[in-house]
Amino acid sequence: MLKTSRLLSTSQRSIITRQAICAIPTQKRCLTTEQATPSPSQQPVPEKYGQFRSPPTSLGVKDPPVVDHNNWLQRKKQKLRDFVDYEKAFAAHAAERRYLVEEATKSYFADVHEMRQHGGKMYFASSQLVKPEKAGYMPNFEAQNLSRQKINTTGKLVGKITLMTFVYAKFGEPHVNTFIKPFLEKYKDHKDIQVVEVNVQENMLKQLLLKLFMPSIRKNLPIERKDNYCLILKDISRTRRFLDMTNQYIGYSFLVDENCKIRWTAHGEATSEEVGNMLAMTDYLYDKKLAHDNKN
């Protein structure tokens, strides 16, 4: 009985040993195929900027821009007529409430924190133009030129292909310059293709400083950029939401066709691909404009 039990225990041990030995190669193969450590050249390269989002598909307002030539008294009368128009007044009050809620819940340093996350680039510009039937209009802005004359931006946009840029702070000027310089190098002598630069100051103290430094801006600005340099010295935060200009430390660029429709947008520092697409899109829009003018 003892010998039999010893034999049985020995055979059991040999069977267990053979099963373990057979199982070892399988375990090694699984580990080497499924959990292999990538070499340094195969590891993903960290992104330069933060989490990107898709570029906006359509920007601007639905209605064509209208230049208001009324004087102060006529504007007050129009506001009174709008006040008694209950549907228009209710819609305006609802939009104002939404705006006030957004501003109240937004941190004072929200733009700074956002810059730390994405480094001034929230998305890469689209490689395609927005179709004219889906594109929104560039709103009209009351501004002044470097000669302190009052102008309306719509008057400069109608009938021309325009690269329109917006800057809210000194930090955004290098951003728009990366788009303006190659654009002017190609189209500076073209009468139907232009650059319109807009410097926006919503803070009252900065508005005073900008007025003081206006002679310096006029002196240092290249000749080909002086005529279309505009200053907006008021709060346009309600309007710039329609243009996706959410951060005041970023420079924004828009490609606007002859009908004041926004066909393409970019922001931050330009990449070589964005510059190439911008120039190719400008050529396309100009050819379409020529074909339309010749047909009429």
> What is the CATH classification number for the domain harbouring 141?
3.40.30.10
| 189 and 218 assigned to the same domain | yes
Residue 229's pLDDT is what?
A: 95
Closest to 147 (Cα-Cα) out of 226, 40, 73, 93:
226
Domain contains 5: no
pLDDT tens digits, 167-218:
998 889 999 999 999 999 999 889 999 999 999 998 888 888 888 888 888 8
Domain contains 31: no
Q: For helices 272-295 and 173-187, what crossing angle results, to 10°?
A: 50
What is the domain count for the chain?
Answer: 2
Domain contains 34: no
| 156 and 89 assigned to the same domain | no
Q: Of 48-62, 82-96, 141-155, 279-293, which range is least confident? A: 82-96
Q: Supply the range of the domain harboring residue 99.
A: 68-105
The pTM assigned to this predicted structure is 0.72
| 142 and 80 assigned to the same domain | no
Closest to 128 (Cα-Cα) out of 247, 274, 289, 292:
274
Q: Output the furthest CA–CA distance in the chain (Å, rounded).
A: 120
| 97 and 131 assigned to the same domain | no
| 137 and 212 assigned to the same domain | yes
Which amino acid, residue 250?
I
pLDDT tens digits, 17-63:
555 444 444 444 443 333 443 443 343 433 444 457 788 888 999 98
